[in-house]
Amino acid sequence: MGFHHLGVATEDLEATAALYREAFGLEQVHAETLEAVRVAFLDLGDGYVELLEPVEPDGPVATFLREQGAGIHHVALETTDVRAAIDRARAAGVTPIDEEPRDGAWGHQVAFVHPSDTGGVLLEFVQH
């Protein structure tokens, strides 16, 4: 298990991507629109920043922005086997939000674990 990306919620994906490029030199390497969010991945060299802009007003990222404002939304840990990561978490008494790996952005297999089970951090397991 290693660091894969930091998920950052934003009201304006283009503006945030431009800021990160100009101020921090981070280049966008992938962009995609999913069901409820637009995402863009910025390259950190040994990981990514994933910008998330809601397209669905009642989706989880829109709700997050309303309740907490823009900022860190989740941390993604890379694994070679999302199913094994889910099984291990479950064996330790943690109930994942996703009982099964599902399709995420960029062709990833992903599963999320709720902050109430992780000391306050929304965790994503990701298989790149």
Q: Taking contact as CB under 5 A, which single stretch among the options 5-13, 16-24, 79-87, 89-97 is the one that binds Co ion?
A: 5-13
Please, which residue, 6 or 94, has the CB nearer to Co ion? Answer: 6
Say how far apart CA 55 and CA 73 lie, in whole Å.
16
Q: Which residues in the 36-55 window bind Co ion by CB under 5 A?
A: 50
Residue number of the CB atom closest to Co ion: 7
**Residues in Cβ contact with 37 at an 8 Å cutoff, skipping those fewer than 6 apart:** 52, 53, 54, 55, 56, 59, 61
**Which of residues 13, 51, 76, 89 is near Co ion by CB under 5 A?**
76
Number of residues that bind Co ion (CB under 5 A): 4
As given in the structure block, the two tokens for residue 104 are 């995420």
Q: Which residues in the 95-124 window bind Co ion by CB under 5 A?
A: 124
Please, which residue, 29 or 93, has the CB nearer to Co ion? Answer: 29
Q: Report phi then psi at 24, rounded to 5.
A: -120, -5
**Residues in Cβ contact with 76 at an 8 Å cutoff, skipping those fewer than 6 apart:** 3, 4, 5, 6, 7, 50, 110, 123, 124, 125, 126
- Least Cβ distance, residue 5 to Co ion (angstroms): 6
Q: Taking contact as CB under 5 A, which single stretch among the options 19-27, 28-36, 69-77, 83-91 is the one that binds Co ion?
A: 69-77
Contact set with Co ion (CB under 5 A): 7, 50, 76, 124
